């Protein structure tokens, strides 16, 4: 059997993987599909990507899907326990109309509070400006095609999440530490079995107001909000919608388990600061599939919290089992990034069957002395990179934080090993193709007291070089020399490559 594979099924939207041999994000050629249901006209369309999204479905209904060249599949949508269409919302208000934003938020909050367990809040087509909305367990927020849920550009009266809740658990955060932060336009705390689905759009209005002018500051007592912030949630499905212009990180699951993000479109301008696409932090069992990224920072940044300047670690937890498949990463500082906040430990991460276009880095791991933690069992398989400056970058001298350039962080002499020493080991790269390579196929810069261990590279192919590239340091660390069209380089790292011609003994660090 070679049938479409259901990835996420909700009452009104379904995503399926089309198992076409060799396909990454795009299909080699479009495939016609037909969707049949009893007593209704047949729907049809053309699939251009591996993940096919079907929306505007009926709950508790059986469907038959036929895709050209694949076996037919039948699926049934779940029951919806009740539908609420918020009444009385004001459409089309400008982004700085706080009165309308508060009015619409109150109506949406009432809809969320009253929707039945297993029910749906349905946002219809229209342009709806609203203050941040908190979601809850056992509900679906359905964003119909043409629905725009917009945050206001002004923050007067914007709710703030405190750094910790009443039990001392991290609630608000900033770059891996507890911190007051403005609530995201959509957010949920401790929500289980939450679904956000549909072809609509969440717009964080980061391009309005002043959000992007203070990327590292605190204003009005808080840090910038995310676009969608999930805190301590489990069994969450994010299906099909577009989310764009987040004030900072776009989607941030924090301390969550079993998260599915399928068929999303995540957008931010190339020059928007710290607008990472999807940042699972201290999470277990996260699947990101068929997602298209075009952002101003890292497309995906896997994190595990940051040890405080005095070694504080009571907020830390590990991140484990992250799967990234059939995604398209356009632009951004990195395709799949781990760190630099990784103090709780990051384990078992795989990016497979993906396309990266014009990202600064492909697979990037970054940390530094003082972070502690372990990064282990990281894999990249069957990935194409076009116009990526440095394909593989692993850097244990990353010059982040105010003391990032201090001698104790950047010194290439061995330092004592303690609980603040980071460790990186177990990296597998297989069947990766590079076109338009600018700086280096790979740069592995480890610590002398904790070298990067067990790096295995198989079937890495450099198809072409970027003729317009200029020599540039491939890692954000002090004294890294400029590079141009270089292969794999290692300093304090143990590489096992099946092609000796791709490994250089040239130094990474300037004398």
Strand order in 73-76's β-sheet? Answer: 43-49, 26-36, 62-67, 73-76
Closest CA to 382 of 460, 288, 440, 456: 460
Find residue 364's DSSP bridge partners.
337, 393
Separation in Å, CA 101 to CA 131, 185, 309: 5, 11, 39
Catalytic residue among 203, 297, 298, 360: 297
Q: Look up tokens 């004592």; give the residue.
A: 416
Instruction: Quote the CA–CA distance of 10 and 239 in Å, as a whole number.
Output: 9
Closest CA to 241 of 316, 144, 350: 144
Strand order in 186-189's β-sheet? Answer: 133-135, 186-189, 228-231, 251-254
Query: Parallel, antiparallel, or unpaired for β 334-339 and 300-302?
Result: parallel
H-run or E-run covering 109:
helix 98-114
**In 3-state terms, what secondary structure has residue 500?**
helix
Find residue 378's DSSP bridge partners.
349, 427
Closest CA to 37 of 76, 2, 6: 76
Closest CA to 441 of 453, 455, 425, 423: 455
333 included as an active-site residue: yes
Instruction: Quote the CA–CA distance of 148 and 188 in Å, as a whole number.
Output: 19
Find residue 355's DSSP bridge partners.
328, 384
Q: Are 334 and 293 in contact (CB under 8 A)?
A: no
Q: Are 178 and 222 in contact (CB under 8 A)?
A: no
Is residue 196 exposed (0-12), middle (13-18) or buried (19+ Cβ within 10 Å)?
buried
Catalytic residue among 315, 333, 399, 439: 333
Query: Parallel, antiparallel, or unpaired for β 346-357 and 374-386?
Result: parallel
229 included as an active-site residue: no
DSSP per-residue letters across 179-213? --EEPPSEEEES-BSEEEESS-EEE--TTSTTGGG
Counted residue by residue, the chain has a size of 511
Residues with catalytic roles: 297, 333
């Amino acid at each position: 059997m070679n049938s479409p594979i259901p990835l996420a099924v909700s009452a009104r939207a379904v995503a399926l993987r089309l198992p076409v041999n060799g396909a990454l994000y795009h299909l080699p050629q479009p495939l016609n599909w037909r969707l049949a249901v009893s007593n209704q006209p047949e729907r049809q369309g053309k699939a251009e990507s591996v993940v096919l999204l079907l929306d505007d479905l009926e709950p508790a209904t059986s469907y038959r899907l036929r895709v050209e060249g694949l076996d037919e599949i039948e699926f049934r949508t779940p029951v919806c326990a009740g539908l609420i269409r918020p009444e009385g919302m004001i459409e089309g208000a400008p982004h700085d109309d706080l009165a309308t934003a508060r009015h619409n938020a109150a109506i949406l909050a009432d809809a969320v509070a009253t929707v039945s367990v297993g029910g749906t809040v349905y946002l219809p087509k229209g342009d709806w400006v609203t203050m941040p909305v908190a979601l809850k367990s056992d509900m679906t927020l359905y964003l119909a095609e043409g629905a725009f849920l917009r945050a206001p550009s002004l923050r007067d009266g914007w709710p703030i999440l405190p750094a910790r809740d009443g039990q001392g658990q991290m609630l608000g955060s900033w770059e891996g530490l507890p911190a007051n932060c403005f609530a995201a336009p959509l957010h949920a705390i401790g929500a289980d079995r939450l679904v956000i689905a549909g072809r609509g759009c969440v717009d964080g209005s980061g391009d309005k107001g002043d959000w992007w002018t203070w990327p590292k500051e605190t204003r009005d007592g808080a840090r910038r909000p995310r676009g969608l912030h999930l805190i301590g949630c489990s069994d969450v499905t994010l299906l099909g919608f577009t989310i764009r212009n987040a004030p900072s990180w776009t989607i941030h699951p924090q301390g969550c388990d079993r998260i599915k993000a399928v068929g999303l479109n995540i957008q931010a301008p190339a020059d928007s600061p710290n607008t990472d696409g999807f940042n699972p932090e201290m999470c277990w069992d996260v699947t990101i599939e068929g997602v298209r990224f075009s952002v101003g920072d890292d497309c995906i940044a896997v994190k595990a919290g940051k040890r405080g300047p005095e070694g504080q670690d009571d907020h830390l937890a590990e991140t484990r089992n992250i799967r990234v498949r059939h995604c398209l990463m356009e632009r951004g500082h990195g395709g799949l990034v781990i760190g630099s906040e990784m103090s709780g430990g990051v384990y078992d991460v795989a990016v497979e069957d993906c396309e990266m276009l014009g990202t600064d880095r492909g697979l990037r791991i970054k940390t530094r002395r003082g972070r502690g933690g372990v990064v282990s069992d990281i894999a990249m398989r069957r990935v194409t990179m076009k116009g990526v400056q440095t394909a593989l970058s692993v850097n244990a001298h990353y010059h982040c934080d105010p003391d990032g350039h201090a001698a104790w962080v950047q010194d290439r002499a061995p330092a004592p090993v303690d609980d603040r020493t980071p460790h990186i080991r177990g990296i597998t790269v297989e069947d990766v193709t590079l076109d338009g390579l600018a700086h280096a196929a790979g740069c592995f810069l480890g610590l002398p007291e904790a070298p990067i261990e067990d790096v295995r590279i198989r079937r890495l192919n450099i198809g072409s070089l970027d003729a317009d590239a200029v020599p540039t340091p491939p890692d954000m660390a002090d004294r890294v020399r400029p590079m141009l069209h270089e292969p794999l380089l290692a300093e304090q790292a143990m590489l096992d490559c099946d092609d000796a011609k791709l490994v250089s003994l040239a130094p990474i660090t300037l004398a």
